[in-house]
Amino acid sequence: MSRSRHPNKHIELAIQYAESLGWRVELSRGHGWGHLLCPRSTREGCIVSVWSTPKNPENHARHIRRDVDMCPHGPTAQSQQEQVNVEENDEHEAQDRM
C-alpha cells in the first residue's frame, strides 16, 4: 500500500530522502501529517515529526533532512560501527600474536 503524498513539494522530497535511507513513514490521524521512524525498530530508534502545515515549509524540510542525517542508527552509522569493530578485532589479534 502506498502512502499519501505530503501537500508541500519540499517536505515530500525530504520524506522521500528519508525513505531512501530506510526510514518508515507513519501517518497521523490528528493535527500533524505523520512521523518518520528510523531504521532501528526498537525503542531506541529515532522519530521525526512531520508537520502538515509548517510556517516555513523549506525550513521544515531542511530540518527533516538534518535529523535524518544525524540519526546514529542509519546506514552510515552502521558502516562506521562495523569499521570500528574490524579495527578492534585487528588490534586484539595483534596483541594475541605477541
> pLDDT tens-digit profile of 8-43?
999 999 999 999 999 999 999 878 999 999 998 788
Cα end-to-end distance, the chain, whole Å: 58
Q: What is the pLDDT of residue 41?
A: 78
Taking CA atoms, 28 is separated from 13, 33, 50, 55, 83, in Å, by: 19, 6, 9, 19, 37
Q: Is residue 31 assigned to a domain?
A: yes
* Residue range 57-75: mean pLDDT, rounded: 92
Average pLDDT, the chain: 83
Q: What is the pLDDT of residue 43?
A: 84
Higher per-residue confidence, 87 vs 57: 57
Q: Is residue 92 assigned to a domain?
A: no
Range of the domain at 34: 9-71
- Count of domains in the chain? 1
| CATH number of the domain encompassing residue 14 | 3.30.920
Q: What is the pLDDT of residue 2?
A: 80
